Structure 1
Amino acid sequence: MAAVYDLKQRGQLTIFDSFDDLATDLAEYIAQLSEISVKERGCFTVALSGGSLISFLGKLYEAPYDKTVDWTKWYVLWADERAVSKSHPDSNYKLTKDNFLSKVPILNNHVYSINDNLTVEDAAMQYEFVIRQLVKARILNVSSINDCPKFDLILLSVGSNGSIASLFPHHPALEQSDDWITYITDASEPPPERITFTLPVINSASNVVVLATGEDKATAMHFAVDDSGEEFDASAVPACLVRPVDGKLVWFMDMLAASKLQLSG
């Protein structure tokens, strides 16, 4: 079972009774976006984050999606990555490869991970170059509002501190608007070196899904979703700053993450 709320400017919120229900609805949502995008553009561009998010993609490689999704049209990137080797337990690529990519027939040359042989600064610059090449090839559209790449879908999970991608509370990277990709060397959680999409890129996507599960996310979700007033410093909870400029925002939460929300209707 699930309860759905229209949050107006803050998007649409669905609260699920169980992880299985959440995974089932998430798979259907992604599959529908994939079908629409492939029909309209001939491809489906998706950027993933790490953490618990990947564990909720399991329904996508089960029936009927294992047969109905046109996996050959998918292009997969990462909204953030840790500056570690691809075989390191902290690697978002490894997590995704082991638990999702290895189970679906996405073409290897449609999967774009960071170069783990470079410094974090150079890796960020090279990853932005990769994205610019995808724009040049018209795999990625560009937002008419801010000239950022317009992903068909960006999937994000929220940290207990309200972080999204590798954008942490009060971090200067939240203010970055000149680059599509930035890097940090002082993440508040290990490992310290990471690359991340900047907020303008996240907010340029056609669709953004933000996933939050667990009681440790409840306070952050209250500030991100409820009206916290004009005095609230949104940089304290970066999830507050996810506001697609010309796209759709959808929140997927379990009951615990949503336990402090002030909802009606």
Structure 2
Amino acid sequence: MTNDRRVIVHPDKPALASSVAARFLTKVVDLLDERPVVHIVLTGGSIANAVLEQVAQSSARDTIDWQRIHLWWGDERWVPLGDAERNEGQAHAALIDAIDIPEANVHAMPASDGGLTLDEAAEAYARELALHAPEGADTPVFDITFLGVGPDGHIASLFPHRSGIQVTDATVIPVRNSPKPPPERLSLTRPVLNASDRIWLVLAGADKASALGLALAGASRDEVPVAGIKGRRRTVFFVDREAAAEVPERLISPDY
């Protein structure tokens, strides 16, 4: 696993969303030149949805063969289908409804009104991942995994001082008593996230500065879960100036 972590700072949230969207479109076109199918993991949150909206609005959007893209989620709130809190629904509104992607390529996590218990839902999503995995693997090779970071340093639904960040024997876990509502969720585990080729963490705002600073300073993953996240090829923190307030200058990429 590479130790290459880069921090790319943007002046504000709109510039951040626009830049990440443009970089995403360019990278996906390159990846589709190299392989038949590309797997992307999406996340929730306002800045992540702003990136998807920028992708949808880009004139380059239709240069991508969306028939060859598979979309997954890093976590999901255990609420009914159609609930405004669902990450999947927000992604549909921001991007998915605007692109020509087969329904079978959009791998939403189960909803609370789908007839499964929370534990059964975790098992069902694990089976879905395995169906699209290479021989001998439990999950697809994720080409790009988007993650947000909470003010407490959580990623997906893996929270500080909770057992989820320590799980290594499952691909998907049920989350109960989440410190952030809603209390029940589904989440990919840390080994699955870290098996991604590229992890793109997108975060904005002064309330994220402390978590980012601690993660890059080598904090414990149990204390600051994002500290335990590294992609196999690359890990990039795309941030705005406010979120970068506590990042050492030596870690900031000269890209911007």
- Do they fold alike, i.e. is TM over 0.5? yes
Structure 1 counterpart of 2:244, which letter? A
Whole-Å separation in 2 of the counterparts to 1:124 and 1:25:
34
Answer yes or no: is the 8 Å Cα contact 1:46–1:153 preserved in 2. yes
Return the match for 2:51 from 53, 56, 81.
Answer: 56
Whole-Å separation in 2 of the counterparts to 1:94 and 1:216:
26
Structure 1 counterpart of 2:189, which letter? T
Alignment of 1:133-148 (within 5 A): 133-135=131-133, 142=137
Match of 2:75 in 1: 80
Answer yes or no: is the 8 Å Cα contact 1:17–1:255 preserved in 2. yes
Whole-Å separation in 1 of the counterparts to 2:79 and 2:233:
32
Match of 1:219 in 2: 210
Higher RCO, Cα 8 Å, sep 6+ = 2
Return the match for 1:107 from 79, 102, 125.
Answer: 102
Match of 1:123 in 2: 121
Match of 2:173 in 1: 182
Alignment of 1:1-265 (within 5 A): 9-52=3-46, 53-116=48-111, 117=114, 118-135=116-133, 142=137, 149-225=140-216, 227-228=217-218, 232-244=219-231, 246-264=232-250
Answer yes or no: is the 8 Å Cα contact 1:177–1:200 preserved in 2. yes
Whole-Å separation in 2 of the counterparts to 1:16 and 1:87:
33
Root-mean-square deviation (CA, aligned residues, Å) is 1.8
Answer yes or no: is the 8 Å Cα contact 2:6–2:235 preserved in 1. yes
Structure 2 counterpart of 1:197, which letter? L
Whole-Å separation in 1 of the counterparts to 2:58 and 2:224:
37
Answer yes or no: is the 8 Å Cα contact 1:11–1:248 preserved in 2. yes
SS of residue paired to 1:169: coil
Whole-Å separation in 2 of the counterparts to 1:32 and 1:201:
25
Shift of residue 148 of structure 1?
A: 5.2
Answer yes or no: is the 8 Å Cα contact 1:151–1:206 preserved in 2. yes
SS of residue paired to 2:168: coil
The TM-score with structure 2 as length reference comes to: 0.90
The TM-score with structure 1 as length reference comes to: 0.87
4+ aligned runs moved over 6 Å, structure 1: none
Q: Deviations over 1:63-119 (max 9, x none)?
A: 322221222211111010011112112111111111221122222111011222111
SS of residue paired to 2:150: coil
Answer yes or no: is the 8 Å Cα contact 2:39–2:144 preserved in 1. yes
SS of residue paired to 1:189: coil
Structure 2 counterpart of 1:51, which letter? G
Structure 1 counterpart of 2:180, which letter? E
Unaligned runs of 5+ in 1: 1-7
Whole-Å separation in 2 of the counterparts to 1:149 and 1:188:
30
Shift of residue 233 of structure 1?
A: 3.0
Match of 1:4 in 2: none
SS of residue paired to 2:85: coil
Whole-Å separation in 2 of the counterparts to 1:172 and 1:18:
35
SS of residue paired to 1:81: strand
Structure 1 counterpart of 2:101, which letter? I
Unaligned runs of 5+ in 2: none
Q: Deviations over 1:9-66 (max 9, x none)?
A: 2511100002232122211221122122222221111111111211222221223222
Match of 1:3 in 2: none
Whole-Å separation in 1 of the counterparts to 2:141 and 2:30:
15
Bigger shift: 149-158 or 52-61? 52-61
